[in-house]
Amino acid sequence: MVLPAADGPGASTTTRDSVVACGVYVDGLRRPGRRSPVEAIAEVRALGRGFAWIGLVAPDRRRTSDIADALALPESAVEDAVHAVHAHRRPKLERHEGSLLMVLKTVGYVEHESPTTANEIVESGEVVVFLGADYVLTVCHSDFATLREELERQPERLATGPAAVLHAVVDHVVDGYLDVVDAVQNDIDHVEAAVFAPRSEIGVEQLYLVKREIVELKRAIVPLAGPLRALSAEPDPLVPDAIRSYFRNVEDHLTAAAERVAGHDELITTLVNATLAKVSLQQNNDMRRISAWVAIVAVPTMVFGNYGMNFDHMPELRWAYGYPLVLTSTLIACLVLHHIFKRNHWL
């Protein structure tokens, strides 16, 4: 949803539709008033302190050009901002002259009645964060309104500079990973119980869906370890030492999420193998039943086939009791075979 508060009397018409929030923060406090992103950047640089936090949702190239020019962002950064909602890239961290670019994948849990009937369990998105000495620009598919309000209630955090916003965004995304991992754990427990339940009807295709969702979650979480390690271990003038120590804590949370997802992935693989084994066993049982019935039916087929050949000299052909004798003998042979197969659990 586009929030009208982002617009001011002098707001740029090229950014009005995609700007959901724009504020200037000095000493951790947000300055009153409405302003366009370009005006916010100019105000900060005129003051010589503080920073601007600009939030964009689903911008296009035309809407990002003015902001990119004001921030002196490279052309590749504009492309990252434009394609932020397509969620097709891996998490990354890039250092440009005077700025940092960080791409993160967000994940959300899709509520459903059962993981065995759902079409989607995990949905993914993308967040792009541009960090400079006096600005932070967030581009995503939804606004960080709640996060912004939380930070504004803690001016001491915002007083450390725009890197505090980067840390808050990354921490918020990683916390989202843990929430989704917890929710997926419940689904996997449900699937595990269904797989090992007697006469369960869960199929391999249903497990493949859960496996696909786990892989999507894994692709969002695991590649973020490298960028987080770089932020926490490599000194950067844009990231104060105090903020770098916070990133180490986020890195620990990410490691925990990655380990749990790896465990989920291994468990689903085990469940897929178990289901395939159950399917193979069921097929073997079905083939044994079919083979047993074929053997039983072969007896009357052979007997009646012989007597249907219209020869004159057949055993007991002219005897009055020949016909019931053949029928009784055939029935007894079939019953004996049925008893043998039943005793051997083929039927």
Rounded mean pLDDT of 158-177? Answer: 93
Domain with CATH 1.20.58.340 in the chain: 279-343
**Confidence label for 84 from pLDDT (cuts 50, 70 and 90):** low
| Cβ 24 vs Cβ 12: under 8 Å | no
| Cβ 164 vs Cβ 147: under 8 Å | no
How far, in Å, are 61, 194, 317 from residue 323 at the CA level?
A: 92, 54, 8
pLDDT at 7: 38
**Confidence label for 14 from pLDDT (cuts 50, 70 and 90):** very low
Percent of the chain topping pLDDT 70: 86
| Cβ 140 vs Cβ 125: under 8 Å | yes
Please give the CATH number for the structural domain made up of 279-343: 1.20.58.340
∠ CA(54), CA(60), CA(66), 5° rounding? Answer: 55
User: Is residue 139 predicted with pLDDT exceeding 50?
Assistant: yes
pLDDT tens readout for residues 40-66: 999 999 999 999 999 888 776 666 777
pTM score, two decimals? Answer: 0.75
Question: Token pair 């724009």 is at which residue?
Answer: 22
pLDDT tens readout for residues 319-347: 777 777 778 888 888 888 888 888 887 77
Question: Average pLDDT, whole number, for the chain?
Answer: 82
Three-state DSSP at 101 gives strand
Of the candidate ranges 71-85, 93-107, 220-234, the one whose mean pLDDT is the lowest: 71-85
In CATH, what is the architecture of 4-278? 2-Layer Sandwich (3.30)
pLDDT at 254: 94
∠ CA(42), CA(1), CA(173), 5° rounding? Answer: 80
Question: Token pair 């955090």 is at which residue?
Answer: 157
User: Is residue 86 predicted with pLDDT exceeding 60?
Assistant: no
User: Is residue 95 predicted with pLDDT exceeding 50?
Assistant: yes
Domain with CATH 3.30.460.20 in the chain: 4-278
Tokens of 84: 């932020």
**Confidence label for 311 from pLDDT (cuts 50, 70 and 90):** low
At 259, which amino acid appears?
Answer: E
Q: How far apart are CA 147 and CA 165, in angstroms?
A: 9
Helix, strand and coil content of the chain, in percent to the nearest 5, comes to 55, 15, 30
